[in-house]
Amino acid sequence: MLFESTRQTSPAATVEEAIAAGLAPDGGLYVPQELPVLDIGRFDGVQTLPDVATRLLAPFFDGSTLAPALGAICSEAFDFPVPVVPFDDSTDVLELFHGPTAAFKDVGARFLAACMSRLPRADGRELTVLVATSGDTGAAVAAAFHGRPGLRVVILYPDGRVSARQAHQLGCFGGNVHALRVAGRFDDCQRMAKAALGDSWLNSQVPLTSANSISLGRLLPQMTYYAQASLAHWRATGTRINLVIPTGNLGNALAALWARAMGLPIGDVRLACNANRTLPDFFAGGAYRPREAVATLANAMDVGAPSNFERLMSLSHGRVEEARLAGFAEAVDDTEIADVIGRHAARYLFCPHTATAMKIRERMAQAGDRRRWTIVATAHPAKFDTVVEPLAARVVPVPDALAAMLERPSHAEPMAAEDAALREWLLQPSMASTASVLRTRPILGKMDSTAN
Ligand SMILES: *Cc1c(COP(=O)(O)O)cnc(C)c1O
């Protein structure tokens, strides 16, 4: 199978090339030339996530040097549970947060790392994985690539706009992982990363690749939990699973739309956004108008220019009306997020992102929708303790892997929100002086931190 750029002016690429490159040379995003359509029978008797994943992803890797290793890659990457937990009579929660950094980004990051560490690098030079993060991506990528030979990770995050625990996680790895705290917003970080990745001279000096949600190596694996959940739902009920998905850059939701287009038994898909209205306005009939992100309680979704929008348009053959039919996006504001977290705290602790999906589910129920819905839980609430604990009026238990990270020291370097600053940093022969490094103490159990 070959992959083409959403902008259609780059040559078609193999899966290895698309995964290694991140962004296509013309600045577009890689999409399969044609999505394979699979017969559900192909999954008969297949139940575990690694096994479902191997069957689902085989056509994308057909003919590639990674094909023989696909089973091993899937077993290595998908080594934690992704359970569907009943919430009430007509609502289930698909919990994607049982990986090492307690957010769904672990799934894509671990698969990407498992692929990249198996890709041959012709010149033997170190490859730098550049990642702009609104919080969770950076930690997942850092955890997945930490200690892998020949690879280093450079994380850009908006200083003061991620939770204290997120900031701590980003800086706690050390070794081949470098955290840069940018004096700007997530969109600045994303722009800086894109500029560096698109700079061919810079790439000739410092080989770069992306691990953002624009990376094909993250999108493909995100289809797998939708495949597994939809097949289990189909076997149990004979009906298609309906999904409400918290959405920022449209990566997680696009994976569900791709899985549905491949023939998996997925019914309606609704996108839950926070107060950033770019997608809700588009789905309500407005023009697609990227804008500056506003800060919300669901900070990993503070995106004003969703990077995977180009892939949604490509899936919809460039037709706006068709794209609007793929799902429907609604905005949920901070007051509603807080209300959902507080109101359900005795029964279930929602992270602020998952709370947006729960709110949409509630709105549909109020509007008389009697169908069963599965809301997608994208992070563990313990990652957002400073938001969740006061609203829930109780302590959120911290998963073991997260607790271990919070016990390590953490550091990040400051950076101006300018493309040139990142370029310069990447070109410097040695790492920045320790004088400019912000150090923070372990924060486990504390409600605030100097990391913010
Ligand atoms: C990244 C993230 C999202 C948004 O995912 P997209 O793929 O950007 O739409 C939602 N919730 C959490 C917790 C996240 O980390």
pLDDT in tens, 79-106: 999 999 999 999 999 999 999 999 999 9
Give mean pLDDT, residues 399-408: 92
pLDDT of residue 78: 97
Mutate to test the pocket of ligand 1, among 165, 249, 278 (most ligand atoms within 8 A of CB): 249
Q: What is the pLDDT of residue 430?
A: 53
**pLDDT tier at 25 (50, 70, 90 boundaries)?**
confident
CA of 375 to the centre of ligand 1 (A): 13
| Protein residue with least CA distance to atom 1, ligand 1 | 300
273 Cα: distance to centroid of ligand 1 (angstroms): 10
180 Cα: distance to centroid of ligand 1 (angstroms): 20
- Ligand 1 mean position, distance from CA 337 (Å): 15
Mutate to test the pocket of ligand 1, among 112, 219, 301 (most ligand atoms within 8 A of CB): 301
Q: Are strands 373-377 and 241-246 parallel, antiparallel or unpaired?
A: parallel
Is 80 exceeded by the pLDDT of residue 132? yes
CB 340 within 8 A of CB 350: yes
Domains of the chain: 81-105+217-400 (3.40.50.1100)
The rounded Å distance from CA 370 to ligand 1 centre is 27
Q: Concatenated DSSP letters for 139-202?
A: HHHHHHHTT-TTEEEEEEEETTSS-HHHHHHHHS--TTEEEEEEES-HHHHHHHHHHHHT-HHH
Residue of the CA atom closest to atom 15 of ligand 1:
136
Q: In what order do the strands lie in the sheet with 373-377?
A: 84-88, 91-95, 373-377, 241-246, 266-273, 328-331
Query: From ligand 1's centre to the CA of 164, what distance in Å?
Result: 17
Q: What is the mean pLDDT of residues 148-170?
A: 92
Q: Mean pLDDT, to the nearest integer, of 132-152?
A: 91
Over residues 269-310, the pLDDT tens digits come to: 999 999 999 999 999 999 999 999 898 999 889 999 998 999
Give me the percent of the chain exceeding a pLDDT of 90.
81
What's the 364 CA to ligand 1 centre distance in angstroms?
22
Which ligand 1 atom is at minimum distance from the Cα of 249? 8
User: Taking 80 as the threshold, does the pLDDT of residue 49 lie above it?
Assistant: yes
How confident is the model at residue 445, as a pLDDT? 41
Instruction: Report pLDDT digits (tens) over 214-251.
Output: 889 999 999 999 999 999 999 999 999 999 999 999 99
Ligand 1 residue neighbourhood (C-beta within 6 Å):
103, 105, 136, 213, 246-253, 300-301, 353, 378-379
Cα of 379 vs centre of ligand 1, distance in Å, is 8
pLDDT class of 392 with cuts at 50, 70, 90 = very high
pLDDT single digits (tens) 177-213: 999 999 998 889 989 998 998 898 999 999 998 887 7
Q: What atom of ligand 1 comes closest to residue 353's alpha carbon?
A: 11
Q: Kindly tell me the sign of the dihedral angle through the C-alpha atoms of 326, 328, 329, 335.
A: negative
Q: Which ligand 1 atom sits closest to the C-alpha of 222?
A: 7
What values do phi and psi take at 249, rounded to 5?
Answer: -85, 5
The pTM score is 0.91
Under DSSP, is residue 404 helix (H, G, I), strand (E, B) or coil?
A: helix
Atom of ligand 1 nearest to the CA of 136: 15
The residue contributing the CA closest to ligand 1 atom 8 is 249
At CA 218, angle to CA 215 and CA 219, rounded to 5?
90
List, in sequence order, every residue forming a beta bridge with 153; answer none if it has no partner. Answer: 129, 177
Counting from 1 in the atom list of ligand 1, the atom nearest the Cα of 383 is 13
Rounded distance between C-alpha atoms, residue 75 and residue 64, angstroms: 18
Query: Does residue 65 surpass a pLDDT of 90?
Result: yes
311-339 pLDDT per residue, tens: 999 999 999 999 999 889 999 999 999 99
Angstrom distance (rounded) from CA 181 to CA 388: 24
Please report which confidence band the pLDDT of residue 442 belongs to, taking 50, 70 and 90 as the band edges.
low
Ligand 1 centroid to Cα of residue 353, in Å, is 8
**Separation of CA 295 and ligand 1 centre (Å):** 14
